Amino acid sequence: MLFGVGINWREELKSGYAHILKENVGLAALLALGVGGEAEFFAEPSSLDEVCEIFRLGIDAGFPIYILGGGTNVVFSDRKVEGVTLSARRLFRVCWDGELLTAEAGASMPMVVSEAAKRCLTGVEFAYGIPGSLGGAVAGNAGALGRGVVDILEEVTTVERDGSVRKWRKGEFSGSYRSCSFFSPYRFIAECKIKFQSASIEDVKRETEVFKKARVGQPKKDRNAGCTFKNPVGDSAGRLLDISGCKGLRVGGAVVSDVHANFIINSGGASGEDIAELIELCRDMVFKKTGVCLENEIKLLGF
């Protein structure tokens, strides 16, 4: 998010937020694809209050803030990323109360799925195999076979652009394919409440198998950030990329998977610019072949 142009915000950050800020932090190690430059300032808040403080200063001083969850579904530029890159990875607290889960944005999505199964709770099996953080999954309404994370939310707490806190209750938001109504690049998804239903372990396993089979054929062993493009209505991005000759296409160390064309992998030494260039090349090839303009699912930040 970009709030404008500030003057002395760098000094204010250094003097007032040294306890949660680091300077010139490499982002590549934090991202699933292993690419990206340095964050000018890297913040790891461990409380909602600290997130609010950074947002308030951001709107007052006018510096950009980028949100980083589990590092999947995102690619940063290789250039220095100015402003503050805010990581949710220290906001990982969870609280289970019967069929209700309250979890912070940085909670692991695979952990939520696994723990729900152990507790014989059903409702989140569709998220089997989805990596990254809960906050990121909510922002993109991650899911499979027509189901998404937003469908099971009871309440969401967000930090707004001005640093205020807002609670969104069921009925005040909605989800659609890879999007949710309250998502904004100027808003931080801080906490979620998810309502499950009790079930037998056999029912949970049976439901999980359905979604496990749906993910067969994805390049799990290769370094990737998830699906590159959203599926267009009534079709599959992977199919369109395949018939357009994109499988195996390479730019530097970035390669379109020969297992599933909607995945870009880092074969070694790829840069953020390699990934971005390959995405545009694939989009152009699909458009020329089919007339369909694919929309990114992977977010490109700092370019």
One domain, residues 200 and 230: no
| 4 within a domain of the structure (yes/no) | no
How much is the average pLDDT of 269-286? Answer: 97
Q: What is the CATH number of the domain that holds 106?
A: 3.30.465.10
One domain, residues 184 and 236: no
Residues 48/159, Cβ–Cβ less than 8 Å: yes
| 28 within a domain of the structure (yes/no) | yes
DSSP state letters, 56-108: HHHHHHT--EEEESSS-SEEE-SS-EEEEEEE-TT---EEEETTEEEEETTSB
One domain, residues 65 and 104: no
* Partners of residue 104 on adjacent β-strands: 191
How much is the average pLDDT of 122-135? Answer: 93
One domain, residues 199 and 242: no
One domain, residues 133 and 168: yes
* pLDDT(6) > 50: no
Residue 16: CB atoms within 10 A of its CB come to 11
How much is the average pLDDT of 52-61? Answer: 87
Of 214, 246, 261, the residue at which a domain comes to its end is: 214
* Separation CA 80–CA 78 (nearest Å): 7
* Domain count within the chain: 3
Look up residue 85 and give its two tokens: 């890159």
pLDDT tier at 79 (50, 70, 90 boundaries)? very high
Percent of the chain whose pLDDT exceeds 70: 98
One domain, residues 149 and 62: no
Strand order across the beta sheet in which 254-256 lies: 224-227, 263-266, 254-256, 250-251
Q: What is the pTM of this model?
A: 0.87
Please give the pLDDT value at position 27. Answer: 95
Please give the pLDDT value at position 144. Answer: 87
* Separation CA 249–CA 242 (nearest Å): 11
Percent of the chain whose pLDDT exceeds 90: 75
210-219 pLDDT, tens digit each = 998 888 878 8
Please give the pLDDT value at position 1. Answer: 39
One domain, residues 123 and 185: yes
Residues 10/58, Cβ–Cβ less than 8 Å: no
| 1 within a domain of the structure (yes/no) | no
How much is the average pLDDT of 75-104? Answer: 95
Of 68, 87, 106, the residue at which a domain comes to its end is: 87
Q: What is the CATH number of the domain that holds 228?
A: 3.90.78.10
Q: What is the CATH number of the domain that holds 38?
A: 3.30.43.10
Our measurement of the distance from residue 3's CA atom to the centroid of its chain's CA atoms, rounded to an integer in Å, reads 21
Please give the pLDDT value at position 184. Answer: 87
One domain, residues 236 and 188: no
- Structural domain including 16 reads 9-87
One domain, residues 157 and 70: no
Q: What angle do CA 63, 60, 5 make, to 5 degrees?
A: 40
- Between β-strands 299-301 and 175-176, what pairing exists: parallel, antiparallel or unpaired? unpaired
Task: Output the average pLDDT for the chain.
Answer: 91
* pLDDT(155) > 90: yes
pLDDT tier at 168 (50, 70, 90 boundaries)? very high
Task: Give the range among 55-59, 114-118, 251-255, 258-262 with minimum mean pLDDT.
Answer: 55-59
| 3 within a domain of the structure (yes/no) | no
| 178 within a domain of the structure (yes/no) | yes
| 141 within a domain of the structure (yes/no) | yes
How much is the average pLDDT of 119-130? Answer: 94
